[in-house]
Amino acid sequence: MAWKIRCEYLLRIPAANTCRGAGKGRKRMNDKRNSGNTLYLECRSGISGDMTVAALLDLGATEENLRRTLAKLPVDGYEIKIQRIRKNGLDVCDFDVILEEEHTHTHRAEHTHSGHEEHEHSHETGTHMHEHGHEHAHAHRTWRDIEQLLRAADLKPRVLELSLKMFRFVAEAEGRAHGCAPEEVHFHEVGAVDSIVDIVGTAACLEELGVERVVASDLWEGSGHVRCQHGVLPVPVPAVLAIAEAHGLTLRQTEQQGEMVTPTGAAIAALSEGRHPSHFRVKGVGLGAGKKEFPRANILRAMLIEEEPEGELWLLESNIDDCTGEALGYAMERLLEAGARDAFFTPIYMKKNRPAYKLSVLCDEERIREMDEILFRETTTIGVRRCRVERDTLERRFAEAETPLGTAKVKICTLPGGEETAYPEYESVKDLAGKSGKSYSEVYRLVKEAAEWGLRE
């Protein structure tokens, strides 16, 4: 992409009202910037790009590093504003990107955190290239354009890696929503300056804080509809749903009207690949402000945590001899949807030689009450026994394997000796088998071989 682009932009940051370190009243996290940190994003008021940058600045990432990183981007036409504000009585950091052509507006649409009608979903498909002398704030860009722009910016390797990954998540989701290849998606808002700043700014802060692992809570989302270029869409919008499905994120819809999770925010949360923290010790907390006023504090909490071993769970069991198979199957679906780690049936014989099933549920301690409620409501049981159990687990992560039949999702597990092995995900194998006409076993073998070849590279 042979664009000659001006690299001028404004950074108006009030010296006495900034969000350096942990902000007023919270300990700075400079001593926590070693590598290997785990970041926990608590998304009880949703998540967007500006909220994330604000929370990470409040957690300890520095404005100086943010300035240096953003100065490398070959884009102009904006200024950033960083300040401290109060949300429901809490002292929090606020981060905003103001486009030059929108100075008459209070905030950009993407980050009103209630619906970005004019921008986030205003994109098209096709091959529409720009060869102007510089970038405009609302130029349409393809995924290839953005990738080349980022690679030309001389970013740190980790910052580049994270930035490309987050943009790729959005490109794949938008491509799926609009029925085209990710490379053909034309980004308007997501490819515009403000979202480039949000994503690269997030990556810069993560790199500075030494974050290697991201975990996230359920994503609390609003309801209703948002208006965009393509019409009125329901909340969550298609791109958010596609990202959540592809990366194992759990959405928790609320009665709050409007959008609380933006596609950019979902892409950031997708770095967790659906991982939730169980037991952890907090090493630092940062609070990032959303732009809307909700009855509950509209903030994103970002925490550096130290996870406790995940070996302790609770086992709930009930013997059932008078419930239909349909009801039992539905009960299992409800249990898994509600957060059970596992649920399974064991054929047993009860008193008087009655054939029956033992329903077993593994869950975290905080979910016991919810599991009990489902068991009593959806089955005929009149009692549930429980006990604490321990387990050993392997470190795991999700990845994608490229095969001649297409891309498949795999789980990579680290064995005690340090070697890694790959396990193809059932849904991916099933999908490729159905499309190719090959057997499940043959596709499973192809995916596993491709994944383990990639691990040896």
* CATH 3.10.20.300, the chain: domain bounds: 395-456
- Which helix (DSSP H) or strand (DSSP E) does residue 105 occupy? none
* CATH 3.30.70.1380, the chain: domain bounds: 312-390
Distances in Å between the alpha carbon of 336 and those of 44, 329, 341?
Answer: 21, 11, 7
pLDDT band at 373 (very low <50, low <70, confident <90, very high): very high
CATH number, span 312-390 = 3.30.70.1380
End-to-end CA distance of the chain: 29
| Count of Cβ atoms closer than 10 Å to residue 63 Cβ | 16
Looking at domain 395-456, its CATH architecture is Roll (3.10)
Distances in Å between the alpha carbon of 88 and those of 4, 13, 295?
Answer: 45, 23, 9
Task: Choose between 430 and 230: higher pLDDT.
Answer: 430
Task: Return the closest-CA partner of residue 449 out of 427, 429, 435, 434.
Answer: 429
Instruction: For residues 200 and 159, give the distance between their C-alpha atoms in angstroms, rounded to a whole number.
Output: 7
Instruction: For residues 45 and 299, give the distance between their C-alpha atoms in angstroms, rounded to a whole number.
Output: 6
pLDDT for 137 beyond 50:
no
pLDDT value of position 140: 66
The model's pTM is 0.61
The answer to whether residues 288 and 44 touch, using CB atoms and an 8 Å cutoff, is no
CB proximity list for 436: less than 8 A, separation 6 or greater: 405, 443
pLDDT value of position 34: 53
Kindly report, residue by residue over 200-229, the tens digit of the pLDDT: 999 999 999 999 999 999 999 988 888 776
pLDDT band at 18 (very low <50, low <70, confident <90, very high): low
pLDDT band at 57 (very low <50, low <70, confident <90, very high): very high
Does the CA dihedral 442-447-453-455 come out positive or negative? negative
The answer to whether residues 424 and 448 touch, using CB atoms and an 8 Å cutoff, is yes
The answer to whether residues 451 and 410 touch, using CB atoms and an 8 Å cutoff, is yes
